[in-house]
Amino acid sequence: MNTSWSPGSWRSFEARHQPSWPDAGELEHALKTLSDQPPLVFAGEARNLTAQLGNVARGEAFLLQAGDCAESFDSSADSIRDRLRVILQMAIVLTYSGGTPLVKVGRIAGQFAKPRSSPTETQGDTELPSFLGQIVNDIGFSEAERRPDPQRLLSAYNRAASTLNLLRAFTRGGYADLTQVSNWNREFVASSPAGERYAQMADEIDRALRFMDACGVNSSTVPALHEVDFYTSHEALLLTYEQALTRQDSLTGDWYDCSAHMLWIGERTRQLNGAHVEFLRGVKNPLGCKIGPSATPDEVLALCDALNPDNAPGRLTLIVRQGADRVTETLPALLAAVRDAGRCVVWACDPMHGNTYTAAGGRKTRHFDDVLKEISGFFAAHRQEGTWPGGVHVELTGDAVTECLGGGDGLVDGDLEQAYETMCDPRLNGRQSVDLAFRVAELLRDQD
């Protein structure tokens, strides 16, 4: 691999899954405007996340990375708050019941671009460009809506900024105070079995907090009880957008992609000689890379070399998505190869993308049991190889959707039409998410 890197060096490599923008001048203009905007995140924050992920890589903490498959520009403040709330609920379950410090990263405030299996979509006699995420075009099936529009790059930046602002307010301004744990359990989730289990746990936490308060320990003496470290991430798919938000840190001289704290490379764009690996190897943010079932141990090691040549703990998270039926067969060899090569990585399990199928009515779905089965297989493989199952990466929403089957409510095919709202992949709803957190916490406890 070429060793000289610049924010634009990816342009001499093959970049898959980039839109065909109809007007090059309009695109250049939007990118110029974008590169004049303030950064969304700061280098110091990205360094803090790398340090926290370093603890995960060493087996001393657990990563929860969660959020939408494709965020919408139209998400209401309530919907953003509810997504955060479910992630906070899952985090508290994992911390309290799993007994492990938790690193919290949202697929949020920038998850707007999607790779698609086909560049076009046909309905009836009409063939139009596929929907590539609202950063490129719109989901409606008309020529105007599907036309890639560079103004959307600026809308994405603005949506990311306002979402991040809200998240910072919620996580720093008292909403995430530990005394609020029972208040996070609202309506839709609270009335489910997992929600009831959560309410019991919240009561125990409240009692412990009252005891600590009586001993003089509360959020005025320990600020960590009042605030939550919450980080943002998305797939760094659209390289022009990512480049325009890449800045040199004045303290260290290092380059950071300031569109999010953590960026990941998708399963479809992780080619070693491709533009995505080239771009991301040069920015100092913590990185993720999806690892699907076709990845060989040699390929994974080569990705470690390319993306983390210094073997820095926390720099690289391998997000494995093998599929529930394959994970116990395919994962051990990858774990062993990375372990034997002395490579320090975070291993996270994405139990969503290897388990998607089309239900009888034509909706894309996933079954809660498959999601859980892949996570169990992930833990089993780590137990076998003596490595640390570092975290989970899931697609969820706080909304009361019916997109994934199973879970406590036993959702079946016929329920999918009730509230199928996703713009891309099916997400766990709030109840299924909290339920999953309890199951993962049990696996975590058993791992020790």
Contact at 8 Å (CB) between 259 and 40? yes
276 is an interface residue for ligand PEP by CB under 6 A: no
In angstroms, what is the minimal distance from the CB of 353 to Co ion?
Answer: 6
Find the binder of Co ion among 82, 267, 425, 435 (CB under 5 A): 425
Identify which of residues 154 and 423 has a Cβ nearer to ligand PEP in the complex.
423
Q: Which of residues 69-88 bind Co ion (CB under 5 A)?
A: 69
Residues 6+ apart with CB under 8 A from 84: 106, 108, 167, 170, 171, 230, 398
138 is an interface residue for ligand PEP by CB under 6 A: no
Q: Alpha carbon of 40 to those of 124, 158, 160: distances in Å?
A: 42, 10, 8
321 is an interface residue for ligand PEP by CB under 6 A: yes
In angstroms, what is the minimal distance from the CB of 17 to ligand PEP?
Answer: 10
Decide which of Co ion, ligand PEP, none touches 29; Cβ closer than 5 to 8 Å per partner kind. none
Q: Alpha carbon of 2 to those of 12, 285, 439: distances in Å?
A: 11, 20, 45
> Where are the alpha helices (H) located in 99-251, listed in sequence order?
143-146, 151-172, 187-190, 193-214, 239-244
In angstroms, what is the minimal distance from the CB of 399 to ligand PEP?
Answer: 18
In angstroms, what is the minimal distance from the CB of 123 to ligand PEP?
Answer: 22
Phi, psi of 233, rounded to the nearest 5 degrees: -155, 155
Q: What is the identity of the amino acid at 152?
A: R
69 is an interface residue for ligand PEP by CB under 6 A: yes
Identify which of residues 290 and 343 has a Cβ nearer to ligand PEP in the complex.
290
Identify which of residues 55 and 134 has a Cβ nearer to ligand PEP in the complex.
134
CA 318 to chain centre: 12
Identify which of residues 321 and 366 has a Cβ nearer to ligand PEP in the complex.
321
Give the closest residue to 303 by CA, choosing from 338, 328, 332, 327: 338
Neighbouring-strand partners of residue 120 = 129
133 is an interface residue for ligand PEP by CB under 6 A: no
Q: Which of residues 239-268 bind ligand PEP (CB under 6 A)?
A: 266-268
The whole-angstrom separation of Cα 409 and Cα 414 is: 13
Binding site for Co ion (CB under 5 A): 69, 425
Binding site for ligand PEP (CB under 6 A): 69, 115, 235, 266-268, 290, 321, 353, 425
